[in-house]
Structure 1
Amino acid sequence: MKNSKENILTNSYVIMLLALIACFLWGSAFPSIKIGYKLFEINKTNTYGKILFAGYRFLLSSMLILIFCTISKLSIKIKKEAFFKLILLGVIQTFLQYIFFYIGLSNTSGVKGAIISSSNTFFSVLLPHFFYREDKITYKRLIGVILGFIGVVIVNLKAGSFDGGFKFTGEGFIILSSLAGAFAGIYTKKLAKDISPFAVSGYQLFTGSIALILVGTLGASQNITFTTKGSILLLYMAFISAAAFSIWAVLLKYNGVGKVSIYKFSIPIIGSFLSFFLLNESFKSSNVIFAIILVSLGIYLINKK
């Protein structure tokens, strides 16, 4: 017999609402990161500066989760053996995923990076087939994830998007980043069964951020510049990660990985809209509308009983 909390968090409409809130937050990170690079004076070639920037963001995120849990009187106590598991999750989800992503993105075009990184959702829907009974691949699930992936390609597609071939430290690293993110989602579900989702998010962000800061500090050729505006933006970006990762951990605790992860196809679409409004970046409205239709169909097929 499901308890009332589980009944609520397995309701399709609640899943959709919470997943889209998380995806909206992650989508807002696209223009926020670009603005952040300007405010912190991080140029395009300063890969280690970007890693350091990410490390500060995720460290602050973990602190926000700790403050929230303290105010809300939510326990984040864990057993010693669980702590080592959370360190592993932090290495996979926060450290490796973003190390591969930032280095990969610095060695390929932004458009190719955006399209290839969406393979995270593709892997997140298909890989759980081998780990969880409720996430078995069906023809509807396969068609749904293909439609979603095509939607992401369309919203990012521009003339010459795929020029330049394949480079392992570019496109290859972004694929590795996507794989790390997919496996992290599977592992998050496993850990969230016995550990508070807020503890899962807080500890993995903390351990992963420390590793990012160490690598960024050792490799950066110049320090990043802190300003009042930059610090306010960094605080918002920390909130993005704290809220989105926590919501995601709660959803994964009670639902199949594939059922939840399909919503991540909406992130680049949301990012495109917000980049248009905040950065005046152009996009083809017909492409975006078509992408929204395909992603919506994909979500419908995967969640249709």
Structure 2
Amino acid sequence: MSEKSLLTKKTVVLPLTLLCCLLWGSAFPCIKLGYGYSQISSADTYSQIFYAGLRFTLAGIFAVIIGSLVAGRPLLPKKTSLTKVFALSLFQTVLQYTFFYIGLARSTGMKSSVITASNVFLSIIVASLVFRTEKLTVRKIAGCIVGFSGVVLINLGGIGGGFRITGEGFVFLSALSYAFSAALTKRFSAKEDPVMLSGWQFIFGGVGMTAFGAALGGCMPVVNPSGVFMLIYLAIVSAAAFSIWSTLLKHNPVSTVSVFGFMNPVFGVILSFVLLSERSAAGPIKVTAALILVAAGIIIVNFPRKNRVF
């Protein structure tokens, strides 16, 4: 069985996407724990960018090394690939995670994980209307409306301090940046190794964010074993999840893969509750209702047509 046919099988795509979502879901509370271990305050924007830069530089190094070992050759970008790597780095790392790290520090892990679920619908809209690689159907539009209603619900009533542009707003902009990166990954990986693209865009983006943060006074105020362990774990999360996700995007439509991202908020909410005890951030009924709406929207988007298995 060829790699392409294997990576389009539902029995393969489903567990791999769930693994990615579990890893990404764990990032919500772990980033906050990492801030605590390193004593980075929610107002210290440049240290947050510096921290993110270190994480993604390490993630890129891990991805390139492991990918090279698996491929049996060094995964180095060709000169003609550099513009693709830089473009992907801008949206997938620099913009997405600059907005995400700053926004997450000013919001709760639960709210951020649900708002981030909007990247599923934004990915479909961007792929359909901007890149025109998929058709925007009535079914997909209906799914987007239902799913976004869950995102709106979690922000009603002043939960966790209400809505702030530099908090929840930045988390949403992070989701929008991801949508563009997903479409670019789909396009670029048609002729490029997706693990190479993922690894090197992390390295370029990570180094740039680290340098920018450091130049403006950002740092890790405290370096200890717990903080270092958390930084390495977050780097592994990015290296593994994005490499797998990018490979799946290469062989499947953007909507087919991205639609499983509804598990990000599920895992994010559960792990934020377990690791951060964010019990008072939002009532369980409202969080559950929001997640149900998000999941329902994605089911509508991906509802199989008659005589289609997947």
The answer, yes or no, to whether TM exceeds 0.5 is yes
Match of 2:276 among 265, 275, 279: 279
Aligned residue in 2 for 1:299: 298
Aligned residue in 2 for 1:86: 85
Does the CA contact (< 8 Å) of 1:97 and 1:180 recur in 2? yes
Q: Are positions 1:19 and 2:30 aligned together? A: no
Post-superposition CA distance 1:134-188 (Å, at most 9, x none) = 621112112223333333444x456313976764x55554443332211111001
Aligned residue in 2 for 1:99: 98
The number of aligned residues is 300
Spell out the pairing of 1:241-252 with structure 2 (5 A cutoff): 241-252=238-249
Spell out the pairing of 1:64-75 with structure 2 (5 A cutoff): 64-75=62-73
TM-superposed deviation, 1:227? 0.8
TM-superposed deviation, 1:73? 3.5
Structure 1 length-normalised TM:
0.87
Runs of 5+ unmatched residues, structure 2: 306-310
2-side partners of 1:242 and 1:221: how far apart? 24
Q: 1:242 to 1:19 in 2, by over 3 A?
A: same
Report which stretch shifted further, 173-182 or 90-99: 173-182
2-side partners of 1:137 and 1:9: how far apart? 24
2-side partners of 1:120 and 1:252: how far apart? 15
TM-superposed deviation, 1:253? 0.2
Match of 1:199 among 196, 207, 211: 196
2-side partners of 1:118 and 1:182: how far apart? 11
Q: Are positions 1:208 and 2:200 aligned together? A: no
Secondary structure at the aligned position of 2:192 is classed as coil
Aligned residue in 2 for 1:161: 159
2-side partners of 1:5 and 1:179: how far apart? 30
Which amino acid is the alignment partner of residue 242 of structure 1?
A: A
TM-superposed deviation, 1:255? 1.1
Spell out the pairing of 1:36-185 with structure 2 (5 A cutoff): 36-75=34-73, 76-105=75-104, 109-110=107-108, 116-130=115-129, 135-154=134-153, 156-157=154-155, 159-161=157-159, 167=165, 173-185=170-182
TM-superposed deviation, 1:14? 2.4
Post-superposition CA distance 1:7-38 (Å, at most 9, x none) = 22112332222112111110000110111011
Report which stretch shifted further, 224-233 or 158-167: 158-167
Does the CA contact (< 8 Å) of 2:24 and 2:237 recur in 1? yes
1-side partners of 2:207 and 2:13: how far apart? 32
Which amino acid is the alignment partner of residue 70 of structure 1?
A: S
2-side partners of 1:190 and 1:35: how far apart? 35
Secondary structure at the aligned position of 2:188 is classed as helix
Which amino acid is the alignment partner of residue 49 of structure 1?
A: S
2-side partners of 1:164 and 1:279: how far apart? 19
Q: 1:132 to 1:215 in 2, by over 3 A?
A: closer
Aligned residue in 2 for 1:254: 251
TM-superposed deviation, 1:115? 5.1
1-side partners of 2:117 and 2:292: how far apart? 17
Report which stretch shifted further, 50-59 or 289-298: 289-298
TM-superposed deviation, 1:239? 0.7
Does the CA contact (< 8 Å) of 2:63 and 2:239 recur in 1? yes
Post-superposition CA distance 1:216-264 (Å, at most 9, x none) = 1012355432111111111111110001111110111011112211222
Q: 1:92 to 1:151 in 2, by over 3 A?
A: same
Q: 1:4 to 1:121 in 2, by over 3 A?
A: same
Stretches of 4+ aligned residues off by more than 6 angstroms: 162-166
Aligned residue in 2 for 1:32: 30
1-side partners of 2:19 and 2:100: how far apart? 23
2-side partners of 1:152 and 1:104: how far apart? 15
TM-superposed deviation, 1:195? 1.1
Structure 2 length-normalised TM:
0.86
Does the CA contact (< 8 Å) of 1:147 and 1:295 recur in 2? yes
Which amino acid is the alignment partner of residue 25 of structure 2?
A: G
Which amino acid is the alignment partner of residue 270 of structure 2?
A: F
Match of 2:215 among 218, 224, 229: 218
Secondary structure at the aligned position of 2:43 is classed as coil
